[in-house]
Every structure is written in C-alpha cells, then in structure tokens.
C-alpha cells in the first residue's frame, strides 16, 4: 500500500494522510461543536474499530450529524427526491450457491419480484430529468428470505470516503442557503469550494464531468453498488464482490447542449421515456454482474477495496454475469409506490453481507433514520410497496400507523407461554461474517485510502478524444459559474495532478493559464495505470438502435411508400418511430391515407429523438421554410451529432439550416440508392463523432 504523508502548502493549509485540506489553527470562537456544544476534534473521520475496521455505534458525533441531516426535509427525500420507478423480475442465469447461499441466486427457474427506482441526486422532486447529475439506481428484491435492497448509483465511485462528510457534501451541492438557488446544479461556489478542499473527490469529479452524468435515458444507464460487499455461501466462505448493472441495449448519453434543450422541451423526458417503453411492451433489461475476488486478490491491489472512491478495473477482475432484471410493469399509483418505497442498504438476506467501508457503515444508520422521518413511522415496512412477500414474524408491536393486528398475550422472547411463537433459527438465520480487521478505537483515515489522483488519471486516459473534450467543456462550464477566483485556481491545481493536459485545457478555456495552485498530493499519482476501455461509453457502445426513437418530420402529401419502408426497417431493428407535423390533426400522405402525428414541430424538437428524418412533400416544404422551429429542428439534429436523413424535397430546408449532405458525416439522402441502409448504419453509431469538430471545435 502507498504511504501517505503530511505536509503544508504555501497558504498555510495542512493536508492530512487522507488528503483533505483544512486550516492548521483554530481559535476558540471557531471551534466546531456538536449540537450540545461538545468541541469536535476530527470532523473528517468516523470512529472506527481500527483504521480499516467497522464504524462504532458509540460515535455520537456521527450519529447526531447524520440524524440531523436525515431530518432536514419533510416529507420529500433530501437526496434522490426526483425519481421514476417500475416493477419487474430478476432471474439468475444458473445456480450460484457456490458464491452465495442467497436463495434468489440459486434457482434459474425462479423469478424474484423487484421494484427499481431511478433518480437524480441534487434536485428536488419538481426539478427536471436531464441536469448534469449522478443518477440513483436502487433495486428492491422481494425474496423468499426477506427483502434485499441493492442501493447504488450510475457511477461506481463516490465523492467522499467517510459517511461523516456526507451532510457536508450534500449541503455544498444543494441550493445555497442564503439565496435558495441554483436548483439541481453543481455549477456554483459552495460545491466547488467543498470538493476543491477534498482531494478524495477528484476521481468522482472526472466521472461527474463526463457524459455519464447526462444519460440518454434511464434505460441507457449502468448501475453500481459502489461499495465492496461480501457474498457468503452455506459453508461460511466469503467472497468479496462489486455489483454492476449493465443495460441490454447499451449505455448512452446526450451531449450537453442537447440535455439543456431537452430540459426545456420536456422536463419529464426520462420519466416519460421509461413509462412509455414499458407501456408499449419494450421492456428495459439489465444484466446483474459481480466482480468476485478473494482476500489474496484484495491484498495484491495497490489501493484499498474499502475505499469507495476507487474502482477495480475489469481487466484486473472481470465481470461475472449472475442474472438479468426485466422491468415489465409501470406503477399503479406514483405516490403509493414510487414515493413511498423505502430503500436501505441494511436490508440484507442470508448470503450477502457488508464490509467495513466507512461510507457504507454510515449509510446503515442514515437510511433507516431517514425512512423513520420521511414516512413518519417505524412501521414503514407494512406499506404495500415495502412489504416482504415472505412471512414477517417478530415481537415488534404498536407504533404510529400500525397496520397488522398481532394476537395473543406474548410480545417478547424468550417465552414459555406461547410455544408456537417465533424463535431464532441458527441454521436459516442471518449470520454476520466475522471481520478480522477490528482494532483499537480511532478517528483515522487509513493510509491505503490516500491516493486520490491515480484512478482519476486512468479514467481520463481511458476516454476517447470526444469524451475528453466533453470533460474539459464540463469543467469549464461549471467553473465559469464559480465567482470566487481562489476556488477556480484550487480546482485547476487538482486537474494538473490528474493530467497536465486536462489542467492546461481547462485553464486556457477559462483564460487562467498559469494560475493553478501548486498542490502537493498526499501520495504521488501513478503514471503506469493502463487505459481501461470499459470506462468509455463511446468505446464500448454497441452498434444498435434497439430501444431508440426516430423522429420523422412530414407535411401533407409525403411519400407513403417511403414511410412504410422506413417503419418496417426500424421495426426490424427494434426502434420506434414518431411522426412530427406542422399542425396537430390528421396528415394526408400522397395516396390520401391519413396519419395522426405524435407531435407538432414546435412541441417535438429533435432533441427528443435519437435520429431524425426530414420527409416533406414538394408542396409542403414551403410551410416548413417559414417555421423557425423546423429550421432549428434540423440544426439541432446536426449539431447534436445525430444521424440525419432527408428526401430531395427537403433540400431547401437543409440549405437554410446550413447543413450540407455528407454520407460519411451521417447526413444522408433517403431518396438515394442505399439511402435507407446508410441511414440505419449511421443511426447505429448513436453519434457521428467526426462531425463534432465542425460544430463544436475542441476546447
């Protein structure tokens, strides 16, 4: 493991072994205290049993801080407030009892009911779907041994290493408390002030500034458990695992300008897409995989598996596919199900267990405490969406909103008055895996957590040139919204440590070349980590339009045979088609047939579609030439790098939009000999990246 060092910078700021920056001296008037006035000596680390041991319940500072944070909003969730969800099922590919005794992983013929909720983190319930943000990915498995909640995000790492810092992180990214804005945005001073003083956030910042944070849809996101967990088999043998969800149609994103315009055109874009896909029978599907490894492998890694700011590259530990999840039913009632569902990483079943990851340890208190506040009762498990499908038998009684009516005089155990009452079961019951890393009580960040830049550098080098350009643009946009110059120079110092090229490009874009702070890392970043292709969305994107939507702009008298051919071709590929017309109401084709448009041009901008077709008639193109929204429809499709095909009658529209035909760049004449085939091939690329240098020269 790399050794951490303690040092001081020129501005009198000290870096501890964990790498966080803080003042070296504090007056009595500045001393941080608990709500009871107790002075706090360490606000960076929770109290653990040994540096790598589990967090202790006696940490009253952690519990007070997290409990207060959990109760800051009523009744809306503090984080992940804006969510969308669906019912479905999970089925394993085979019997995984060698890995885990969890019953839902043992029978490939048995389907386990699930309820999955996807969410943004920073915004409130009334915010939009497409901001730059982390997406929550939470799945409740209703197993025969109780509910198992796999609660994660669409990014495999996190901003912080210890749960005691979670309230600080969220306070910094939420609306600034004196002014109540910005909503659902990290592009402001308080967020960048916090992360620039918290070097452990650097790796997560690379992911958050990448295209991962602006997904094409909820059906196109990956999911991760973030922490290292354990699978335990019937013989008591433990295997470390990292959980991964991979969408069957591939992961995909928007470009930034497109995401911004989508928010204006349809604030419910992701929610609507998920609902409509399930409603029409195009069921989203994910493969659940694990990276499974033993203690020997963990010890050989040059980072700590308990550090939630690190990934294990798939080249080191490949994915093992366990099974698939299919979402096939929309909620019946949004509030009763999507809003009232209560996830908690402490909802485990026999065969799955925790590790001493200090972020996970704090979540085990926080999630339960949050549900007590938000749902108003310790009986939230009796709400139908949270109720297990297996029997619940215990002696917990009464409380607000109790729904069950337990009978009998016995409400305790052991007892002799009711021999039929429930008893503990050493054979079937959950047994915690004995963690060997317990040690003396300490508030300490292990030295093995101190490298904050090496994997961030590896992430940068794993991106394709377009993705690197997007990361530079994202940092530039976010920092341009930061008013305090000292925060910008501090962030630039961190980016120089990630990769000098990254720091130089962002500094040049901000007109701040040479102004980066000189920051000494706790551990020098490594320069020998190879690129990891699975980290790149573009490099691993499948050539498919399955699950995508193609927008077709038509006018009266359009070519009916061409539309029929296009519809058939898209159906074969598993894609959907939506008609866009100048006005609502039936549109007649060249044979007199009537077609109901799905949207009008003003209400159906091209940002809502994955590929675009311009198919007016000779007599109808004049109407479109007079519509600014029709010209912008084409300009945006081109600028957002989407496959764009047209009929000859649309040539004046393309000319007015300053778009030139070019098969290589995905602007294709549909009337040509191979027009339809060329369009399908271009659409399967998702984006025509070679076009980007023409519309958005790299920063």
User: Which residues, including other chains, have CB under 8 Å from residue 422's CB and lie 6 or more apart?
Assistant: 393, 394, 395, 413
Residue where the block lists tokens 């990214």: 173
Pairwise CA distance, residues 650 & 615, whole Å = 7
H helices within 21-92, ranges in order?
60-70
Between the alpha carbon of residue 389 and those of residues 145, 426, 689, the distances in Å are 9, 22, 48
Pairwise CA distance, residues 177 & 544, whole Å = 45
H helices within 326-464, ranges in order?
358-374, 454-462
318 burial via Cβ count (<10 Å: 0-12, 13-18, 19+) = exposed
257 burial via Cβ count (<10 Å: 0-12, 13-18, 19+) = middle
Pairwise CA distance, residues 175 & 182, whole Å = 5
As a 3-state breakdown, the chain gives helix, strand, coil percent values, each rounded to 5, of 35, 20, 50
DSSP state for residue 696 in the 8-state scheme: S
Rounded to the nearest 5°, which phi and psi values hold at 86? Answer: -160, 155
Pairwise CA distance, residues 9 & 698, whole Å = 34
Residue where the block lists tokens 């995000």: 153
What are the tokens at 542? Answer: 């499948």
Which residues are designated catalytic?
80, 153
DSSP 155-192: SSS-S-SSGGGHHHHHHHHS-BTTTTB-SS---SHHHH
Sign of dihedral through CA atoms 150, 153, 159, 164?
negative
User: Which residues, including other chains, have CB under 8 Å from residue 461's CB and lie 6 or more apart?
Assistant: 499, 529, 531
CB atoms within 10 A of CB 32: 12
**What ranges make up the beta strands (E) of 342-440?**
352-353
Residue where the block lists tokens 């994955």: 610
């Amino acid at each position: 493991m790399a050794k951490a060092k303690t040092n001081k910078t020129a501005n009198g700021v000290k870096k501890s072994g964990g790498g966080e920056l803080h003042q070296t001296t504090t007056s009595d008037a500045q001393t941080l205290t608990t709500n009871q006035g107790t002075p706090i000596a360490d606000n960076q680390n929770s109290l653990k049993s040994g540096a790598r041991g589990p967090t202790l319940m006696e940490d009253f500072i952690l519990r007070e801080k997290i409990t207060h944070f959990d109760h800051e909003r009523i009744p809306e969730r503090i984080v992940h407030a804006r969510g969308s969800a669906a019912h479905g099922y999970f089925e394993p590919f085979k019997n995984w009892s060698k890995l885990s005794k969890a019953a839902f992983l043992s029978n490939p013929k048995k389907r386990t009911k699930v309820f999955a909720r996807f969410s943004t983190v920073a915004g409130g319930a009334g915010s939009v779907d497409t901001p730059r943000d982390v997406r929550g990915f939470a799945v409740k498995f209703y197993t025969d041994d109780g509910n198992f909640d796999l609660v994660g995000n669409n990014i495999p790492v996190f901003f912080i290493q210890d749960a005691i810092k979670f309230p600080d992180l969220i306070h910094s990214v939420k609306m600034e408390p004196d002014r109540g804005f910005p909503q659902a945005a990290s592009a402001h001073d308080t967020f960048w002030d916090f992360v620039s003083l918290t070097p452990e956030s650097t790796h997560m910042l690379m992911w958050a500034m990448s295209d991962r944070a602006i997904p094409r849809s909820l059906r196109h996101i990956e999911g991760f458990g973030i922490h290292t967990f354990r699978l335990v088999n019937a013989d008591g043998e433990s295997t470390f695992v990292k959980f991964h969800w991979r969408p069957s149609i591939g992961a995909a994103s928007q470009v930034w300008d497109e995401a911004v315009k989508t928010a204006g055109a349809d604030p419910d874009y992701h929610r609507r897409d998920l609902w409509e896909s399930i409603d029409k029978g195009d069921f989203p599907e994910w493969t659940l995989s694990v990276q499974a490894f033993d203690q020997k492998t963990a010890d050989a890694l040059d980072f700590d598996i308990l550090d939630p700011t690190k990934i294990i590259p798939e080249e080191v530990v490949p994915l093992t596919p366990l099974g698939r999840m299919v979402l096939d039913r929309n909620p019946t009632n949004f509030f009763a199900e999507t809003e009232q569902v209560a996830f908690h990483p402490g909802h485990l079943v026999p065969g799955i267990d925790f590790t001493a990851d200090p972020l996970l340890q704090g979540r085990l208190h926080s999630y339960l405490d949050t549900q007590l506040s938000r749902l108003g009762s310790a009986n939230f498990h009796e709400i139908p969406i949270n109720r297990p499908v297996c029997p619940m038998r215990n002696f917990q009684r009464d409380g607000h909103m109790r729904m069950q009516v337990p009978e009998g005089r016995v409400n305790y155990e052991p007892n002799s008055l009711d021999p039929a009452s429930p008893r503990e079961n050493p054979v079937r019951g959950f047994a915690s895996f004995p963690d060997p890393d317990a040690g003396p009580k300490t508030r300490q960040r292990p030295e093995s957590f101190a490298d904050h830049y090496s994997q961030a550098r590896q992430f940068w080098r794993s991106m394709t040139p377009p993705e690197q350009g997007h990361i530079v643009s994202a940092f530039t946009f976010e920092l341009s919204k930061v008013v305090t110059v000292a925060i910008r120079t501090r962030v630039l110092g961190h980016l120089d440590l990630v990769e000098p090229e990254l720091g130089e490009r962002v500094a040049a874009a901000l007109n701040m070349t040479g102004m980066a702070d000189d920051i000494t890392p706790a551990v020098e970043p490594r320069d020998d980590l190879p690129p990891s292709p699975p980290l790149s969305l573009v490099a691993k994107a499948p050539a498919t339009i399955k699950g995508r939507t193609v927008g077709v702009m038509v006018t009266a008298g359009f070519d009916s045979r061409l539309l029929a051919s296009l519809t058939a071709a898209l159906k074969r590929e598993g894609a959907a088609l939506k008609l866009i017309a100048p006005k609502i109401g039936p549109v007649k084709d060249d044979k007199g047939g009537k077609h109901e448009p799905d949207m009008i041009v003003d209400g159906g901008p091209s940002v809502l579609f994955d590929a675009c077709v311009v198919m007016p008639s000779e007599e109808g193109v004049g109407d479109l030439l007079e519509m600014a929204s029709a010209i912008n429809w084409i300009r945006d499709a081109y600028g957002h790098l989407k496959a764009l095909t047209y009929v000859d009658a649309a040539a004046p529209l393309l000319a007015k939009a300053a778009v030139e035909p070019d098969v290589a760049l995905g602007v294709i004449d549909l009337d040509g000999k191979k027009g339809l085939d060329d369009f399908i091939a271009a659409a399967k690329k998702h984006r025509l990246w070679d076009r980007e240098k023409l519309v958005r020269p790299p920063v």
